[in-house]
């Protein structure tokens, strides 16, 4: 018997169907491979890593808040200390005239006059000296200090020049005479020192 010939059209249809099946199989295999080798960027985020990042962020916020709170506390303490220190500024300024009067009273009596004075007068002078020392001690206790710039460089922030002294032999701008002692409270000036300042003609020309 002779083999029955296959219809060419059927053969063509079968070949197309086989190719289509092979293509589908190839695509399916590729998808499976992609799923098996999925990259970290495409994968879902790790919940544990998210918690770690959130914990680090919260820790940073807490540290910043603690640092800010500490800065606020220090600033409040500094402002409180300054307020306490400078609260008595006006009262201290009024007391400066008392210190001046005591100093002038002592300057009016020379050492020679004290030696020749009777006991009552010497006791009076000693009482004035003691009163002034106690007043100055009270000033220091409250952060008030004298500004006595004798032989120091003139500082316009704390000194007030009343006159110039030529031929003193001191460098220009040196305080050669203190007319009135100045005072400051903390770093603030209560009263400038009234001074005479050296002026050397030779240095002025150079």
195 burial level (CB within 10 Å; 0-12, 13-18, 19+): buried
- What's the domain count of the chain? 2
Q: What number is the average pLDDT over the span 10-34?
A: 53
160 and 117 within one domain:
no
pLDDT range class, residue 38, cuts 50, 70, 90: very low
More confident residue, 189 or 114: 189
**Domain coverage including residue 96:** 66-142
203 and 177 within one domain:
yes
What is the tens place of the pLDDT at every residue in 151-203?
Answer: 999 999 999 999 999 888 889 999 999 999 999 988 889 999 999 999 876 55
What is the tens place of the pLDDT at every residue in 78-97?
Answer: 877 777 767 778 888 888 98
2 HSE (CA, 13 A, CB side) = 3
127 and 152 within one domain:
no
197 occurs within a structural domain: yes
Which H helix or E strand runs over 14? helix 8-36
């Amino acid at each position: 018997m002779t083999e029955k010939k296959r219809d060419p059209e059927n053969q063509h249809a079968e070949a197309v169907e086989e190719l289509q099946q092979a293509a589908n199989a190839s695509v399916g295999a590729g998808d499976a491979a992609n799923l098996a080798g999925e990259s970290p960027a495409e994968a879902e985020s790790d919940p544990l890593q998210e918690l770690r990042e959130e914990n680090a962020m919260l820790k940073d916020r807490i540290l910043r808040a603690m640092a800010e709170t500490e800065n606020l506390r220090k600033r409040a303490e500094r402002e409180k200390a300054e307020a306490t220190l400078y609260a008595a500024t006006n009262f201290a300024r009024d007391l400066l005239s008392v210190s001046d009067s005591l100093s002038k009273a002592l300057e009016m009596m020379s050492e020679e006059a004290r030696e020749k004075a009777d006991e009552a007068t010497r006791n009076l002078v000693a009482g004035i000296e003691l009163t002034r020392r106690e007043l100055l001690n009270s000033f220091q206790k409250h952060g008030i200090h004298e500004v006595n710039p004798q032989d120091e460089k003139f500082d316009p922030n704390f000194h007030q020049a009343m006159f110039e002294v030529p031929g003193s032999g001191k460098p220009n701008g040196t305080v050669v005479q203190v007319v009135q002692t100045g005072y400051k409270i903390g770093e603030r000036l209560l009263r400038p020192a009234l001074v005479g300042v050296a002026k050397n003609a030779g240095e002025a020309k150079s």
